[in-house]
Amino acid sequence: MNVYADNAATTAVSDTALAAMMPCFQEIYGNPSSLHTPGQRAAERLAAARETFAKYLNGDPREITFTSGGSEADNQALRSAALLGARKGKKHIISTKFEHHAILHTLQALEKEGYEVTLLDIPPDGVVTAEQVKAALRPDTCLVTVMFANNEIGTIQPIPEIGAVCHEAGVLFHTDAVQAVGHLPIDVQAMHIDLLSLSAHKFHGPKGVGVLYARRGIALTNVIHGGAQERGKRAGTENIPGICGAAAAFEEACVNIEKNAAYLTPLRDKLIEGLTAIPHTVLNGDAKRRLPGNVNVCFEGIEGESLLLLLDAKGIAASSGSACTSGSLDPSHVLLALGRPHEVAHGSLRLSLSEYNTEAEIDYILKELPNIVSYLRDISPVWDELEKGQRPHLI
Amino acid sequence: MALYSDKVMDHFQHPRNVGKMEDADGIGEVGNAKCGDIMRMYIKVDHDTQTITDVKFNTFGCGSAIATSSMATELIKGKPISEALTLSNKAVVEALDGLPAQKIHCSVLAEEAVRAAIRDYYDKNNIPYGDELRECDGHCDTCHQEHE
């Protein structure tokens, strides 16, 4: 059996999204900036896609800027808010320790340019609080950026409460909602969101398309300079097939949001229950305040990459935050921020489901995984020491 | 997966000489759980001929850590200690048809595990040895960077 359980990394394009894209390659291929009829037909599709995003985010079409993806949207959001702050002499930014690298590395770049950054600690349940944000606010704070839901552990942050705190203080609020959009209801008005980043390929849209929502009145700074596309704020001929596919996928996801959550939540909980029954296994992040499809656990005494390879050999595609999979010597910064020791973080496994997964697939994972964990523990000297009491169990 | 050669995947999925050895003559352990790799190697030695008659290993680590341990045991099993001491990480890499650049340190760990097991055997039997059988300081970064 083949099970794709890495939907937080990327998803399959839905039939609806693909159907919306196909005409844009050979029929509606005009450049939306062109005056002629083929160009204007493409411009109409672009406008319709923009309206779709505005509608389901509860914003205005003029507040929607298409980008190449979530990372570009994050970069542009942070750069724009930082520049607006600097003009008022405000150069302090608040964020959290477990943001995506698109945020953390942009903040590091801003620090080199003279900004001060406060990264909030992550409580053990993986949910930061509005009180933490409030306590970190300073008179010179120009921006708060907190992710909507964490990409590794799936925990959902109290975005409306944080937004309210920011607005009360007159500080711009950005949320990297890449993992949440299409999976959780989002209302930029009710949630006091000024800037929001999203990425189409996380909800069955195509790769290479993102959106930056920016409340009217917030002047965006260009990251890509050139032509006058996107009201002059993002140069480059619009990716019409991608944008049309993104809008179709977004609408489909939003219309089905409750249905999908109702379908996925019991599958997620079954997986969590089955996996945490394996001795010395811990769930990362709050059990309930998490994305409907996210499961993230640490198995003590084993290492994540070998786990992934053995799962792959059984047809199961998953992800890990071990150093060997992160491309550095350190395991996942998210798990470390959560307080997991290095040796525990190395044994992490993320299974991220979509509505395309079935209960039979969950049963298959639960049948195969315990054997793989036992096998790796049997050959692990760390597990040997843990079992002999020569090394204390950490989980 | 294209990340690893067929040989690496074979040794990872079907490791040779895996397990513990209760009556080992020498045990070497290198690496550090914090860094994500630990190898423990057990050797059985024929004292008269100074030959490694049996080898076992336990490894905590990624696919290539397990595969390099397995290959290292194959390369030294039945060999005189003097020959096992010449085992280089490069030889392990070559025997596995190559490793990705970021995984070369796994082969270094395998080489060091073999040497640590032999050193332990020498220590237990009061056999003198030279500086070349230096001890790994257990600091992963040192190993990662100093070896090719």
Q: What is the mean pLDDT of each run of 10 residues along chain A (395 residues)?
A: 97 98 98 98 98 98 98 98 98 98 98 98 98 98 98 98 98 98 98 98 98 98 97 98 98 98 98 98 98 98 95 96 71 95 94 98 98 97 94 93
- How many whole angstroms separate alpha carbon B144 and alpha carbon B108? 8
- How many whole angstroms separate alpha carbon B93 and alpha carbon A207? 36
Distance from CA of B64 to the nearest CA of A (A): 8
Q: Which helix (H) or strand (E) holds B13?
A: helix B6-13
Residues 371-390 in A contacting B (C-alpha not used; CB under 8 Å) = 379-384
Tell whether the torsion through CA atoms of A306, A308, A311 and A312 is positive or negative.
negative
Chain-wide mean pLDDT for chain B? Answer: 89
Q: Which helix (H) or strand (E) holds A143?
A: strand A141-145
Question: Cβ–Cβ of A327/B102 closer than 8 Å?
Answer: yes
- How many whole angstroms separate alpha carbon A228 and alpha carbon A139? 36
- How many whole angstroms separate alpha carbon A44 and alpha carbon A32? 8
Partner A contacted by B62 (CB < 8 A): yes
Q: Which two tokens stand for residue A19?
A: 């159907």
pLDDT at B133 over 90: no
Nearest CA in chain A to B63: A306
Question: Cβ–Cβ of B58/A380 closer than 8 Å?
Answer: yes
Tell whether the torsion through CA atoms of A332, A334, A337 and A341 is positive or negative.
negative
Partner B contacted by A310 (CB < 8 A): yes
* β-strand pairing of A64-67 with A116-120: unpaired
Question: Cβ–Cβ of A305/B63 closer than 8 Å?
Answer: yes
pLDDT in tens, B67-90: 999 999 999 999 999 999 999 999
Contact A92, A116 (CB under 8 A): yes
Per DSSP, the residues of B36-57 read TEEEEEEEEEETTTTEEEEEEE
DSSP-based three-state secondary structure for A184: strand
Rounded to an integer, the average pLDDT of B134-139 is: 56
Beta bridge partners of residue A95, listed in sequence order: A119
- The answer for A370, left when phi > 0, alpha when psi is -120 to 50, beta otherwise, is alpha
Please report, to the nearest 10 degrees, the dihedral formed by the alpha carbons of residues A146, A148, A154, A158 taken in order. Answer: 80
Q: Which two tokens stand for residue A287?
A: 């059990």
Contact A230, A66 (CB under 8 A): yes
* Nearest Cα to Cα of residue A286 among A153, A158, A159: A153
Is B1 exposed, middle or buried (CB count within 10 Å of its CB: 0-12, 13-18, 19+)?
exposed
Q: Collect all residues of chain A within an 8 Å Cβ-Cβ radius of residue B35.
A: 323, 329, 342
Beta bridge partners of residue A93, listed in sequence order: A117, A143
Scan for tokens 């390099």, then name that residue: B68
Domains of chain B: 6-126 (3.90.1010.10)
Question: Cβ–Cβ of B36/A323 closer than 8 Å?
Answer: yes
What CATH code is assigned to A257-388?
Answer: 3.90.1150.10
Tell which of B3, B13, B62 to mutate to test the A interface (max A CBs under 10 Å): B62
Q: Which two tokens stand for residue A122?
A: 């992550």
Q: What is the pLDDT of residue B3?
A: 84
| Domain positions in chain A | 15-255, 257-388
Rounded to an integer, the average pLDDT of B93-117 is: 94
Alpha helices in chain A (DSSP H): 15-21, 23-26, 37-57, 70-87, 101-112, 130-136, 159-169, 240-255, 257-276, 304-313, 323-326, 333-337, 342-345, 359-378, 381-388
Partner A contacted by B140 (CB < 8 A): yes
Partner B contacted by A317 (CB < 8 A): no
Partner A contacted by B13 (CB < 8 A): yes
Report the b/e string of A14-52 with b at 16+ CB within 10 A.
bebbbebbeebeeebebebeeeeeebebbbebbeebbeb
Beta bridge partners of residue A119, listed in sequence order: A95
Contact B59, A379 (CB under 8 A): yes
Partner B contacted by A323 (CB < 8 A): yes
Q: Collect all residues of chain B within an 8 Å Cβ-Cβ radius of residue A310.
A: 13
Contact A115, A82 (CB under 8 A): yes
Chain A to chain B Cβ contacts (< 8 Å)? 75
Partner B contacted by A322 (CB < 8 A): yes
- How many whole angstroms separate alpha carbon B77 and alpha carbon B45? 10
Is A298 catalytic? The answer is: no
Question: Hey, do A15-255 and A257-388 end up sharing a CATH topology, with the first three levels equal?
Answer: no
Tell which of B40, B57, B60, B109 to mutate to test the A interface (max A CBs under 10 Å): B60
- The DSSP 8-state label assigned to residue B131 in this structure reads G
Residue A329's CB: how many other CB atoms inside 10 A?
A: 16
Q: Which fold has domain A15-255?
A: Aspartate Aminotransferase; domain 2 (3.40.640)
Question: Cβ–Cβ of B60/A322 closer than 8 Å?
Answer: no
Alpha helices in A140-227 (DSSP H): 159-169
Contact A177, A199 (CB under 8 A): no
Q: Which of A313, A327, A383 sits opposite B13 (nearest CB)?
A: A313
- How many whole angstroms separate alpha carbon A50 and alpha carbon A247? 8
Phi, psi of A127 (to 5 degrees): -125, 115
Partner A contacted by B40 (CB < 8 A): yes
- Largest interatomic CA distance in chain A: 77
Q: What is the pLDDT of residue A96?
A: 98
Q: Which of A309, A322, A331 sits opposite B1 (nearest CB)?
A: A309
Tell whether the torsion through CA atoms of A70, A71, A76 and A77 is positive or negative.
positive
Q: Which helix (H) or strand (E) holds B142?
A: helix B140-146
